Amino acid sequence: MIKTSSFEPTKRFRPTHIQTIYPTYVSRPSNIKRDRERFELLDGDFVDLDWAGQQYTNSSNPRIVLILHGLCGSSSSNYVLGLQQQLLDQGIASVAMNFRGCSGEPNRLLRAYHSGETSDMNEVFFALAERYPAASFASVGYSLGANAMLKWHGEMGPNSPLVAAVAVSSPYDLSLSTNRMNRGISVLYQRHLVQGLIHYVECKLAHYRKQQDWENYKKLRALGSLVSTKTFVEFDGLVTAPLFGYDSAEHYYEKCSSLPFLAQIKTPTLLIHALDDPFVHAEAIPTAAHLAADTVLELSEFGGHVGFVNGTFRKPNFWLDTRISDYLVERL
């Protein structure tokens, strides 16, 4: 089902790029304290989990939300901290999973993360489900994390034990949305994010050099120089595709876009999206035919990319955090 969102920004917050940029750099009010857990993966690597409200997991019927950040983000991204605070206020525990190498420390293996990599979140979730057998679980993903989360739910289908999911500003069709980033001001966003990805690779190279792990160092170096890389297609062709066994960037986009997986999702799911999203091609937005019976797409005219803020610049109201929290409270 597709419905019109209740989000309506004030006049000053209507511009697409204010919606996209402002929440990235302005922190939500928060006094949140978190506990970090290093989760050892079966392949010998690790991801770091940041818990908020872990004390609530000791109740007889705990409620736990798994949160997945976006490209070049982390568990410390403002949108993650804002949601964790909102959930904490409702007595709900949450765990923000940092994708490999995103927690402030390079991961051990050559393997990284991408828009369709679902094995790590699958491993983390089922370990947590075994640890907390009485818990009700939900998941929330933003941007890249939203695409990966939706793909994961589609892969799990009727076997999913989660009671709810929320995806914010997913790219849905990676090829179309990558092409969208080559137009207008979106080019600047793309260059900024690609520079972040290049920095991610450089940090891994420095880590391997320091550890004298020359085997992985040479393999990463062999992918080629990233000096002139400015687009996602260039980066994904040089790095993502060969590291994960895809023939090309387009092959990766074809296999990892969440759009073909939406119809297989059996978990009640809320999709939050803005028509003015500068990261996502309009043709990538799902139609009713793409959606499973228990999936609702809330579309708004404004909201940018992972924005959805209103109020005033001095007293902003982060509508997105409230909307996600309200949806989850109803279902957990």
What's the Cα-to-Cα distance from 169 to each of 1, 7, 35, 228, rounded to whole Å?
17, 14, 27, 28
Q: Determine which one of 277, 281, 300, 325 is catalytic.
A: 277
Q: Determine which one of 186, 276, 305, 325 is catalytic.
A: 305
Q: Determine which one of 74, 77, 94, 143 is catalytic.
A: 143
What's the Rg (C-alpha) of the chain? 19
- Is 239 in a helix, a strand, or coil? helix
Q: Which residue in this structure is represented by tokens 């019976």?
A: 293
Could you give the CA distance from residue 38 to residue 19 in angstroms, rounded to a whole number?
34
* Annotated catalytic residue 48: no
Contact 87, 94 (CB under 8 A): yes
Greatest alpha-carbon pair distance for the chain in Å reads 55
* Annotated catalytic residue 143: yes
CA angle at residue 258 from 265 to 226, to 5 degrees?
Answer: 155
Residue 150: partners with Cβ closer than 8 Å, 6 or more residues away: 141, 165, 167, 170, 258, 261, 262, 265, 269
Q: What is the dihedral of CA 158, 294, 125, 146, to 10 degrees?
A: 130
Residues marked active site are found at: 143, 277, 305
